[in-house]
Structure 1
Amino acid sequence: MTSPGGPTPKKSSGLGIAALILGIVALVFAFIPLANYFGMVLAVVGLILGIVGLLIKNRAKGLSLTGTILSGLALILAIIMAIVYAAAFSAAVKAVSEAGNSITSTSSSSPSTSSDASSGKTVDVTYEVTSDAATAQSISYFTINNGQSGQEQANGAPLPWSKDLQLKQNGVLDFSTMSLTAQAAQDATTITCTIKVNGVVKSTQTSTGSFAVVSCSTDGK
């Protein structure tokens, strides 16, 4: 039925009002971490209500259209911001993890730093071999050159025999490998090896018999 003055005005849509309110709230929540997930739900509900409001006849479409647009926009923004916040959170966790690993690595390397601090300190090492024979069948001893450890050997060396080395503590040298081994000659009845560190005897051993083998070792401390 129409009024004498013209068509009956269309009633406002309650669904349109609800869609508009939900769209506004969802738009606000879209920018709040974690709350944007709730904003997605509100946006979806507002979007549905707005579309339904547009389909109902004899109802004003303005509020429903506005609510539908706001709800759709809020849904898109909420999804985008959720992705952004998730990426930022992941990056933060990774940064904290890397920082923790860096601290652990620095802590575990502190003994090396301490050892490096002693670089420049030298240790005087003396190897000695004596026997009742004039020569030794062979003599083998630990040495270090340019920071690289190794073994050197002297065959038929005249006795008494000695070798002086000046070793530098640099965190690379392992003093536990400091050693001296000698084999007596055929005419020997005894052979003795001695290792001195900074003039102090650290190891001395004696073996008896022809072609006897004697060995000394020390950690240099």
Structure 2
Amino acid sequence: MSNTQPVAAPEGLHPDGGPSARRGNGFGVAALILGIFSLVFAFVPFMSYAAIFAGAIAVVLAVIGLTRKFRARGTAVAGLVTGVIGLVLAIVMTTLYAAIFFGISKTVNDTNKAAATSHTVVYSVTGAAQDANVTYSTFTSGTSGTEQSSSTPLPFTKTITVKGSKDSLSFNSFDLTAMNGADDTGTISCTVTVDGKAIASQTSSGSFAAVTCSGTN
């Protein structure tokens, strides 16, 4: 009596000759999970950097999963698709977020620099008066005020420093008034300059003659 040894089925076939069932694909599952992660977090600022990394890994794992024999390929294909889309979206959104962030930072820095810029305002009164009265506007820590110099011999010059952007200076009115005394019968003139640019000037003459120079940058 002879013993018949069972013959092993070729790789990929059941013992009855049919194709073997495909087994699960761990690489495909991992690729799909990472691909979904990259899709979701591609739209989240800062997390989009992690989404780029996850999308790239998903693509690599999906390719490995597709090359494995006798493994289900559905999850690997899905992982490859989500990984590629997530990777592309994450790169695009990260670039967009970076452009917005640096744009805002530049605007804030430019605004701060402009606000800290110093501008020179010069009040000048000329003439031969020995008893003139001069009043001019001041700006200290963003607060406007006035100062007066009485019984002042001419010429008179006062320099003040104002901080702010060129645009913000346009909201400030720089005012200068001067008047001859009772015994001052000559000419009296006033001039206001901002950063070397004259913004107002006026001339008058005679006792108690008054001049007013007022303007904005």
* Aligned with 2:213 (options 145, 148, 170): 170
Query: Is the CA contact (8 Å cut-off) linking 2:35 and 2:79 kept in structure 1?
Result: yes
Q: Give the CA deviation at 1:38.
A: 1.5
- Cα separation, 1, equivalents of 2:120 and 2:88: 48
Query: Is the CA contact (8 Å cut-off) linking 2:38 and 2:86 kept in structure 1?
Result: yes
Other structure's SS at 1:68 match: helix
Structure 1 length-normalised TM: 0.54
Q: Identify the residue that residue 147 of structure 1 maps to in structure 2.
A: 201
The answer to which of 4-13 and 21-30 deviates more is: 4-13
* Aligned with 1:9 (options 11, 16, 21): 21
* Aligned with 1:37 (options 49, 56, 72): 49
Q: Identify the residue that residue 99 of structure 2 maps to in structure 1.
A: 87
How large is the RMSD of aligned CA atoms in angstroms? Answer: 3.6
Q: Identify the residue that residue 64 of structure 1 maps to in structure 2.
A: 76
Structure 2 gap ranges (5+): 1-8, 122-136, 147-172, 191-199
- Cα separation, 2, equivalents of 1:11 and 1:108: 81
Q: Partner letter of residue 147 of structure 1?
A: S
Q: Give the CA deviation at 1:16.
A: 0.7
Q: Give the CA deviation at 1:48.
A: 0.4
- Cα separation, 1, equivalents of 2:175 and 2:73: 85
Deviations 1:68-126 (A, max 9, x none): 1111111111101111111111222133234434544699888366464755x441255
Q: Partner letter of residue 55 of structure 1?
A: T
Matched residue pairs, number? 148
Query: Is the CA contact (8 Å cut-off) linking 1:20 and 1:70 kept in structure 2?
Result: yes
Percentage identity across paired residues of the two chains: 28
Query: Is the CA contact (8 Å cut-off) linking 2:39 and 2:82 kept in structure 1?
Result: yes
Other structure's SS at 2:100 match: helix
Q: Partner letter of residue 144 of structure 1?
A: S
Deviations 1:135-165 (A, max 9, x none): xxxxxx864388267xxxxxxxxxxxx9647
Cα distance, 1:76–1:166 mapped onto 2, change above 3 Å: same
* Aligned with 2:112 (options 100, 124, 147): 100
Other structure's SS at 1:170 match: strand
- Cα separation, 2, equivalents of 1:40 and 1:166: 77
* Aligned with 2:180 (options 124, 131, 144): 124
Structure 2 length-normalised TM: 0.55
- Cα separation, 2, equivalents of 1:5 and 1:42: 41
Other structure's SS at 1:92 match: helix
- Cα separation, 2, equivalents of 1:127 and 1:167: 11
Query: Is the CA contact (8 Å cut-off) linking 1:143 and 1:165 kept in structure 2?
Result: no
Q: Give the CA deviation at 1:59.
A: 1.6
